[in-house]
Amino acid sequence: MTGLLTDKVALVSGAGPGLGRDIALALAAHGADVVLGARTVSACEAVADEVRALGRRAEAVRLDITDAASCGAAVEHATAALGGLDVLVNNAFHDGNHRSFEDSDLAEWQATMDVNLWGTLQMTKAAVPALRARGGGKVVMVNSLSAHRIQPRYGAYATSKGALETATKSLALELGPHGIRVNGVFPGYIWGDKVAAYFDHLAGRAGITPEEQYRRVAEETALRYLPPSEEIAGSVVFFASSLSDPVTGQSLGVDGGHWIA
């Protein structure tokens, strides 16, 4: 691997199994030291061991992005233990209530918004002073195809992610003078165990094989496949690295062409 992030320090929220893990490992593979934050610290510890196995420093912290004190403590830990902060990856999320608007209690929508919008903004605000102290930095929002390709019963999630996309642009404009770039990646289906299990369920309901269910969805994409989380992580590395220095306020689809605006 080339050292696109040599000696940079990154903080990844929602850094347990799945995409959070693969983002952390990709950052480390390109030379970054990583602070891994999630509500369950044990999930982060396992990933931290993998980061250390790549020869980089790693710290695991309990992080609840809906708690301002928790956000501040995570940033303080990064600066105290690793010397500063250069990259923030906002990966923690709430996936909504999966109910129609009419059948929803709006308190459920609020709970999703509290994590995906307000929590993400709170985490970002906590990180800004540390990023400024290093002369700038990168903030990467892990957004979702759902913000663009609206589906029934995903209203709470889609609305929160749509709001986050607008917030990303606002932050890019306001934080740009400090050398802080703010961008978002928009995955669709991320191929892995959870999506495979979901497709097995859908296939059973439709009376088809899991392979046919996969093909039905993959054929909706331009590239005819569903990217795994390791590939999504590569796009995060791009936004975290100097390769993206002229880029801010942008929304990058990483969905195999499932949505082309």
Q: Which of 154, 157, 189, 214 is catalytic?
A: 157
Angstrom CA distances, 156 to 13, 110, 204, stand at 21, 8, 27
Q: How many CB atoms lie within 10 A of CB 87?
A: 27
Q: What 3-state class would DSSP assign to 77?
A: helix
Which residues touch 134 (CB under 8 Å, ≥6 apart)? 84, 85, 86
What would the two tokens of residue 21 be? 């893990």
Measured distance between the N- and C-terminal CA atoms of the chain, rounded to whole angstroms: 32
Indicate if 198 belongs to the active site: no
Q: For residues 157 and 161, give the distance between their C-alpha atoms in angstroms, rounded to a whole number.
A: 6
Q: For residues 232 and 208, give the distance between their C-alpha atoms in angstroms, rounded to a whole number.
A: 28
Q: How many CB atoms lie within 10 A of CB 18?
A: 17
Q: What 3-state class would DSSP assign to 30?
A: coil
Catalytic sites, residue numbers: 157
